[in-house]
């Protein structure tokens, strides 16, 4: 037998969702109802953050094992496993298992097929009548359970890694607040203890200025935090015919402008590079200021940097504002100790972020193999 993906094992069958589940829908639950009826029972909506939880109330409409899916909006087709007492809003469909099937297994399988049936309009939809007719491969129950056990175990490790990242991030924020709230330190304008420069952009209309061997950093790359490479490169001719200048390793970069939340973000160079005019490069006097200490201090004060440039509107930072920005200047050895402590925490966060990325790749591979029957589990 054949699915939209591949030939399935002979022990598997093809069934429609309506053959496996009783299909229902939630009801309109307003914010007012949530405020007036507080309680322990979750209300699930169309969002996907926080497991789709919209709030909690004192009553429940559903009890037991279910799948729910988002029927309307940008997350249409998203599927969740539910177990217990809960509620759903009217933008959620509900699937109650019929007979002896493993609901968790189908919480992994169904999204692979449901998304193909979403009607992509200004307001995407996957309504009950469409979901009912979605055809999916169904392995024997023992195989369903074994596959779900494997995927649940991977998800458990991913959640544990997420918790480590969150706890470590909270520790970092607490330490930054402790370190940078000290009032006894000297304070100086950045211009008094560092050189502040910007860059330039070679003409994009001149092909021979681009795709050379000289790195060129754009403002969006501050999101890397530690810049070890750049997306774009310029030629020597492009360098010579623009305001670009070479910035040394250790320069602290500040986004003067940029889309969304970019303005005010900082990064530190672990390479030499040029940059565009939407970035400021701060090159500290090494006898007075640790570049790592400055990087963490400015990162901690992100909102302050945005505020001095005019808040959340279209205003931008400029070199004058950066030069006049006042930073703490404790003794150099103390700066280095603080930077070392925060760097060690960052390394732990980075290790766990990489682990999470690897686990997600593992999960993706397992889902592709196990949910298609390409790889069979041992029962």
Residue 170 or 309, more confident: 170
State whether residue 226 is helix, strand or coil. strand
Residue 170: pLDDT band (50, 70, 90) is very high
**Mean of all residue pLDDT scores within the chain:** 94
CA dihedral over 223, 229, 230, 236, signed as positive or negative: positive
State whether residue 261 is helix, strand or coil. coil
Stretch 298-319: mean pLDDT, rounded?
83
CATH superfamily assigned to domain 13-139: DNA methylase specificity domains (3.90.220.20)
216 pLDDT exceeds 80?
Answer: yes
Q: How far apart are the first and last CA of the chain?
A: 22
Predicted local confidence at residue 3, as pLDDT: 42
Instruction: Looking at mean pLDDT, say which of 7-11, 232-236, 260-264 comes out highest.
Output: 232-236
The structure's pTM equals: 0.83
What percentage of residues in the chain have a pLDDT greater than 70? 97
Predicted local confidence at residue 178, as pLDDT: 94
Stretch 131-140: mean pLDDT, rounded?
96
What are the two backbone dihedrals, phi and then psi, of residue 203, each rounded to the nearest 5 degrees?
-60, 125
Stretch 5-19: mean pLDDT, rounded?
88
Q: What's the CATH number of domain 140-185+330-373, 1.10.287.1120, 3.10.20.30, 3.40.50.920, 1.20.1060.10?
A: 1.10.287.1120
Q: What are the CA-CA distances from residue 267 to residues 116, 297, 346, 357 (Å)?
A: 40, 11, 13, 22
Q: Where are the beta strands (DSSP E) in 156-265?
A: 186-189, 194-198, 210-217, 226-227, 232-234, 252-255
In a 13 Å sphere around the CA of 247, the CA atoms on its Cβ side amount to 33
Predicted local confidence at residue 27, as pLDDT: 96
281 pLDDT exceeds 60?
Answer: yes
Please check whether residue 167 is in contact with residue 310, taking contact to mean a CB–CB distance below 8 angstroms.
no
Predicted local confidence at residue 311, as pLDDT: 56
335 pLDDT exceeds 80?
Answer: yes
Stretch 152-174: mean pLDDT, rounded?
97
Looking at domain 186-328, its CATH class is: alpha beta
CA distance 106 to 126: 17
Predicted local confidence at residue 4, as pLDDT: 44
Residues of the chain with CATH 3.90.220.20: 13-139, 186-328
92 pLDDT exceeds 50?
Answer: yes
């Amino acid at each position: 037998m054949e699915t939209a993906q591949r030939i399935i094992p002979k022990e598997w069958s093809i069934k429609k969702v309506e053959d496996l589940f009783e299909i229902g829908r939630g009801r309109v639950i307003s914010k007012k109802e949530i405020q007036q009826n507080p309680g322990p029972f979750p209300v699930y909506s169309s969002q996907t953050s926080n497991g789709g939880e919209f709030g909690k109330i004192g009553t429940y409409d559903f009890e037991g094992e279910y799948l729910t899916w988002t029927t309307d909006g940008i997350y249409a087709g998203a599927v969740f496993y539910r177990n217990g007492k809960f509620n759903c809003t009217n933008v959620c469909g509900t699937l109650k298992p019929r007979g002896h099937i493993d609901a968790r297994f189908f919480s992994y399988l169904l999204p692979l097929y449901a998304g193909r049936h979403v009607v992509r309009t200004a307001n995407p939809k996957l309504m009950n009548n469409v979901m009912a007719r979605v055809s999916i491969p169904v392995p024997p129950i023992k195989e369903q359970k074994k596959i779900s056990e494997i995927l649940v175990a991977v998800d458990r490790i991913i959640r544990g890694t997420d918790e480590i990242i969150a706890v470590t991030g909270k520790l970092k924020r607490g330490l930054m607040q402790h370190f940078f709230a000290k009032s006894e330190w000297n304070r100086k304008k950045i211009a008094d203890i560092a050189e502040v420069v910007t860059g330039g952009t070679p003409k994009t209309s001149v092909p021979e200025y681009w795709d050379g061997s000289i790195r060129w950093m754009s403002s969006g790359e501050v999101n890397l935090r530690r810049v070890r490479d750049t997306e774009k490169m310029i030629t020597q001719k492009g360098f010579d015919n623009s305001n670009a200048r070479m910035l040394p390793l250790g320069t602290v970069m500040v986004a003067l402008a940029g889309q969304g939340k970019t303005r005010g973000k900082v990064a530190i160079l672990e390479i030499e590079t040029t940059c565009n005019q939407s970035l400021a490069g701060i090159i500290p006097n090494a006898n007075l200021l640790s570049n790592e200490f400055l990087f963490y201090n400015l990162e901690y004060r992100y909102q302050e940097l945005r505020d001095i440039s005019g808040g959340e509107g279209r205003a931008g930072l400029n070199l004058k504002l950066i030069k006049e920005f006042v930073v703490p200047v404790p003794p150099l050895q103390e700066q280095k100790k603080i930077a070392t402590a925060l760097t060690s925490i960052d390394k732990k966060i980075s290790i766990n972020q990489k682990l999470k990325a690897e686990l997600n790749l593992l999960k993706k591979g397992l889902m592709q193999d196990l949910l298609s029957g390409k790889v069979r589990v041992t029962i």
